């Protein structure tokens, strides 16, 4: 009898960490912590408050430049809060939470895996930085196979 055996790779060494597939869970350890998101949102709130302060200075001194600068800084802070809420920093995901996965290179020649979650958030993971670990040539097909095994739609760009 000839049995076809399939051994799936469940642990992938990535740039600054690893991705583990255990049962129906994905565990990402890449040095991104929840406090990063909190810190980003805190900076954005600081921008919003600074924009409000500068705009209120227009009411006191009638300086048009202060109002314009305040509105611009306020808009940047508001945009940063909205984009910050769309980014996930979680390290543990259920497979059913993931809508699709996109593997792509960015402008820095980093190979990234972006997990698009069903709650419209994204989790970006750097797989390889400037082809230092040759993840693209050595492990990309195994990663795509593992994602397909868990029925996660995978796009490669």
Quick one: 24 and 42 in the same domain?
no
**What is the predicted pLDDT for the residue at 134?**
80
DSSP state string for 94-126: EGGGEEEEEEEE-TTSEEEEEEEETTS-EEEEE
Q: Cα(17)–Cα(27) distance, rounded to whole angstroms?
A: 11
Give yes or no: residues 68 and 138 share one domain.
no
Residue 129 clears pLDDT 50, i.e. is over it: yes
CA nearest to 29, candidates 134, 135, 126: 126
Domain shared by 18 and 95, yes or no:
yes
- Tracing tokens 């996930």 back to the chain, one arrives at 88
Q: Do 129 and 152 fall within a single domain?
A: yes
Same domain, 60 and 97: no
Q: What is the CATH number of the domain that holds 110?
A: 2.30.29.30
Q: What is the mean pLDDT of residues 26-35?
A: 85
Identify whether 4 is part of a domain.
no
Q: Is residue 97 in a domain?
A: yes
Full-model pTM: 0.77
pLDDT number for residue 2: 45
Whether residue 147 sits in one domain with residue 132? yes
Q: Say which residues have a Cβ less than 8 Å from residue 113's Cβ, sequence separation at least 6.
A: 19, 101, 102, 103, 124, 125, 127, 143
- Do 152 and 96 have their domain in common? yes
pLDDT, one tens digit per residue, over 39-75 is 888 999 999 999 999 888 877 888 888 888 999 999 9
Show the tokens assigned to 148: 């397909």
Tokens of 7: 């051994």
- Residue 42 in domain: yes
Residues 151 and 98 in one domain: yes
CB 80 within 8 A of CB 102: no
Domain that holds residue 140: 12-32+89-156
**Angstrom distances, CA of residue 57 to CA of 68, 72, 77:** 11, 14, 18
Residue 59 and residue 23 share a domain: no
> Within a domain: residue 7?
no
DSSP string covering 9-33, please? --EEEETTEEEEEETTEEEEESS--
| pLDDT tens digits along 78-120 | 999 998 889 888 889 999 999 999 999 988 888 999 999 999 9
- Domain count within the chain: 2
């Amino acid at each position: 009898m000839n049995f076809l055996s399939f051994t799936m790779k469940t642990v992938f060494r990535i740039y600054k960490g690893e991705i583990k597939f255990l049962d129906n869970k994905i565990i990402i350890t890449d040095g991104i912590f929840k406090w990063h998101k909190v810190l980003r949102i805190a900076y954005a709130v600081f921008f919003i408050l600074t924009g409000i302060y500068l705009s209120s200075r227009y009411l006191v001194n009638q300086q048009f430049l202060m109002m314009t600068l305040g509105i611009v800084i306020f808009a940047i802070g508001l945009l940063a809060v909205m984009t910050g809420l769309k980014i996930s920093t979680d390290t543990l995901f259920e497979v059913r939470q993931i809508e699709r996965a996109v593997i792509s290179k960015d402008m820095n020649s980093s190979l990234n895996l972006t997990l698009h979650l069903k709650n419209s958030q994204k989790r970006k993971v750097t797989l390889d930085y400037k082809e230092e670990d040759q993840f693209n040539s050595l492990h990309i097909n195994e990663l795509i196979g593992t994602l397909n095994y868990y029925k996660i739609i995978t796009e490669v760009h």
